[in-house]
Structure formats: structure tokens, C-alpha cells
Amino acid sequence: MQAPVVFLNTSTRRQSGREAQIQNITAAKAVADIVRTCLGPKAMLKMLLDPMGGITLTNDGHAILREIDVSHPAAKSMIELSRTQDEEVGDGTTSVIILAGEILAQTFPYIEKNIHPVVIIQALKQALSDALEIIEEVSMPVDVNNEQAMIKLIAASIGTKYIAKWSQKMCELALKAVKTVMIEDGDHKEIDIKRYVRVEKIPGGEIEDCRVLDGILLNKDVVHPKMKRMIENPRIVLLDCPLEYKKAESKENFEITKDTDWNRLLEIEEEQVKAMCEQILTVKPDLVITEKGVSDLAQHYLLKGGCSVLRRVKKSDNNRIAKATGATIVNRVEDLKESDVGKKCGLFEVKLIGDEYFSFIAKCKDPKACTVILRGPSKDILNEIQRNLDDAMAVTRNVFFSPRLSPGGGATEMAVSVGLSKRAKNIEGVQQWPYQAVADAFEVIPRTLVQNCGGNPIRVLSQLRASHVNGDSTFGINGETGKITDMREYGIWEPEVIKQQSAKTAIESASMLLRVDDIVSGVRKQK
């Protein structure tokens, strides 16, 4: 009986067994090392150049990894982790990567000792369920309506970012924006940040000028110079149809024999546009906003009727305006009714900021959509502020959905580490070692925090471990000084969801990479 022969393409590379696992773990560690210095308030910034020559300056783990081009499949899978974390909870992207890299690094010796990966994975699964229990134990509930407590909480998520200097301001922005778009229907809460919070970046001015507008901002000017640029309590009509003569879809040929016929054609065009405008003017609007074009003739008629017009507005912006002003978007002028008119807006104004015109639809009564206006010295800084603000809004949203907080500053991770070490002693057999490895891996977060602000990791971690063993589970690292601080006093709390999600994501991905025992790549070897 002959052994089966596997024919692989000559250009294929294949790594199997131990070699593949070592490769994966090395790649994962390399990715973790990239973002390691981006953890904590003393985090370093990374400067990334994209192929187009654009620059990204950031310390947001997810933004860095998104820009990096890697070829190794395991490294790609690690980068995917941060994306999952970002989509799921919006923060903790750096810590997830560091944690996953460290779990793999800690389990590596056991692979070398020929312990079967499946045994290791079982231990990891067990460690995960115990870790989630411990996170639950050290967490505490929070009152969502207490504004001060909420601002403190958001400040903890922002404290590690570039905008920490203006932390108070940014926290208020994030909280106000999320509160604006929150829809409560009995027990059901809906917070759609993506759809109803627009961030408008305007270079120039100072960062202190950032604010949440109680309405919508559009980078548009009215279509005719004589139209009113400031209207109080405007009646707003939103359209999704062109205010122009409707041309035929297919090609059409006219044969004109008399010159009067030609005039008649032009008259028909005019009449059609006039009828449209009259139809609109029956509901007495002050402001007409359409997603399509507006012909010169229509402008003329609407101007006579005392209307201001904005055209070619994006669909998403139009939806936001509808939400903020209570108007309904109408697809045909003929269907326009009094009930479609938006009356919730307090002020329409066109302002010149820098060298661009912006239309403010502001002072809305109870808007369910808003615009965050960001000002700052340069585009790069504004992009970074926006990334940070997105994180802050995601954190706020999470807390509204599940109002439980875990202590920050590496306290939760340390509590998990100490708790798992205790439980590891009761586990029999080989599984005890990988289980202990997870416990050691969780220490990487407080350790990195100490390293990033230039402290002595060995000494500080020993002290921190001792405090946790004695039952002080809220003790963590002050990221500014690198000393041990009680998080209750220091006031750094993070949403429990983030901690749970990062533990789940990190351990699950480590388990997946350990399962791989063969990498076949169809890429030709470089000569």
C-alpha cells in the first residue's frame, strides 16, 4: 500500500505543524508590539504615510492597524480583531491587540513542550468564562442620569487620546450628541450615531470653539443671491425631486414647421416649472431644500414667493434635517401637504466661516439629529479629534445600553489575573499551565501602562499584585505617574461591555490561531 502523494503547485509554499504555529505566534506578537506604545495617557503617536502621500497622525490602535499593509495571514487576522472591537463597542482596540498577542506569547512554551493545541484551547475557554465572572464581580452599576458621573466616565476613555487637553469640552460634546439622538420608547432605547450625528470639520478657529449644534449644518449657500439668508422659525419643505423641466427619458425628435411652435414648446417648459413652484408655494414655505437640481426659472418663481432654496443636498443630510425639523421628505411636488412642512426649527442662517458658506438649521425643538462642529488648526488634527470623538460617543452609547462600569487603569485586568491564578491551583492535569498562562497574560495591560510612562514595571506590578491579593480590586495604575492608585478616588472607570468584549475577542482569536497547523500559500517565492 503506497502512501498517498499530494501534488501541490510548484509555486506553492507550505508550512505545517510546529513551524506554522511558531510563524503565527511571531506575526501576532509583531502586530501587538506595533501598538504597544499606544496604550494609556502617555501614549506615543504614530505617523503613517499612505501610498497617496497623505499623513495620518494618531494613537488610536484601530486607525493605525487599518492603515498598515501586512502580508502574513495571522497578522491580518489580528488586525481584524481591532476592527471587530471598534464596531462592537468602539473603544479598547489597542488593549485587545496587546492582550491577544500576549496570550499567544504566554501559551507558546507549552506548544514547544508538545502539549496538544486542543488541550490548550480548552484551558483558554475555561479561563475566558472565569475571567468574565471576575469582571462582573469587580464592576458596579452607574446612574445614567447623573451628568457628572457620565462626564467622568467619558473622560476616562478620552484621557488616553490626543484630545485629553480639552477633555471636559469633548466629554460634554459626546454626551450631548448621544443624548440628542437617543430615542426612548418605554424600555426600548435606540441610539443611531452613524445615521443621525454628523461631524463637520472646519479648519480654522480654536479647539474651544467646537460645539454640538441643536440642528444641522450644511456646507451650502442659498442658490440665489437675493434670497433671505436669515429666517426665524422657518417653515421647511424637503424634496427629493428636481425643480426643472422634465425631459423625456428616451431620445425625442421634434419637427417644427412654424416659428410659433417653437415658442409654444418653451412656454410648455415654463408652465410646467411654474406649476411646480406654485404647488410648493401653496404650503407657504420659507425654505425649500431639495436633493436634486433647481432651474433658474424655478429659482425666480420661488424667490418671488419669498422662499430661500438649497439644492443638491446629500440624502443622508436630508434625512437628518427631516429628523431634526419634523418635516417629511416628499418625492413629488403634487403630493405636498401641510403636514409635511417642518416647523420645529428656530433659526435658518447662512454664515461665512473662513472662505466657505455654511447653512445653519439651528435652535430646533427636541431634535433627534445633530451636527458636531469641530474647529482646529489643521486637517490632520481635526481628523484625529474626530476619531477620538467617535470613541467617546461609542463609550457613551454603551453605558446607556448597559450601565455597569469596571475600574480602569489596568485594575480590572489585574483583578482577572489574580483571580485566575487562584483558580488555577484547583485545576488538575496539564490544563493548569495554559490556564495560568492566561492569568499571566492579563498582567500585560497594567505592565504596558507602567512602561509607557517610564515607571519601574517589576516593582509597581509586585505592589499592585499584592494589593489585589488582599482584596483591593479597584487598585490600578495612574497612567500619568506610573504609581498605584485607587480607581475610586482617581475616577477612571470604563464600561463593562468593553472589558468583556476585549477578553472575549482576545481569547477567541488566540484559540483560533493556535488551531492552525498548516499554512499553504499560493504565492511564488521571490528569487
Provide the residue type at 171 as one letter.
C
Specify whether 290 is catalytic: no
Q: Could you tell me which residues come within 8 angstroms of residue 195 by beta carbon, excluding any fewer than 6 positions away?
A: 316, 319, 320, 369
Give the bridge partners for 353, in sequence order: 356
Q: Catalytic residue at 340?
A: no
Q: Which of 201, 202, 211 is nearest to 173 (CA)?
A: 211
Residues in the chain: 527
Q: Which of 391, 396, 412, 448 is catalytic?
A: 391
60 tagged catalytic: yes
Q: For 329-367, give the DSSP string.
A: EESSGGG--GGGSB----EEEEEEETTEEEEEEE--SS-
Set 56, 94, 290, 474: catalytic member: 94
Phi first, then psi, for residue 265 (nearest 5°) are: -60, -45
Q: Report whether 396 contacts 178 (CB < 8 A).
A: yes
C-alpha dist (Å) from residue 469 to 170, 212, 417, 421, 464: 37, 45, 10, 10, 9
Buried b (16+ CB within 10 A) or exposed e, 362-392: bbbeebbbbbbbbbbeeebbbbbbbbbbbbb
Q: Is 517 exposed, middle or buried (0-12, 13-18, 19+ CB in 10 A)?
A: middle
**Catalytic residue of the set 56, 58, 93, 160:** 93
CA-to-CA distance for 195 and 200, rounded, in angstroms?
A: 14
Helix-helix angle 411-424:444-452, to 10 degrees: 140
- Please name the amino acid found at residue 140: M
Closest Cα partner for 494 from 18, 155, 266? 155
* Burial environment of residue 53 by CB neighbours within 10 A (0 to 12, 13 to 18, 19 or more): exposed
Q: Is 299 left (phi over 0), alpha (psi -120 to 50) or beta?
A: alpha
* Contact (Cβ atoms closer than 8 angstroms) between residue 479 and residue 38: no
The helix/strand/coil state of 395 is helix
Q: Which residue has the cell 480590586?
A: 473
* CA 234 to the chain's CA centroid: 34
CA–CA distance, 9 with 321 (Å, rounded to integer):
58
CA atoms of 488 and 468, how far apart (whole Å): 14
Based on the residue annotation, tell me whether 143 is a catalytic residue of this protein. Answer: no
Radius of gyration of the chain measured on its C-alpha atoms: 30
The catalytic position among 56, 58, 60, 371 is: 60
Active-site annotation, residues: 60, 93-94, 391
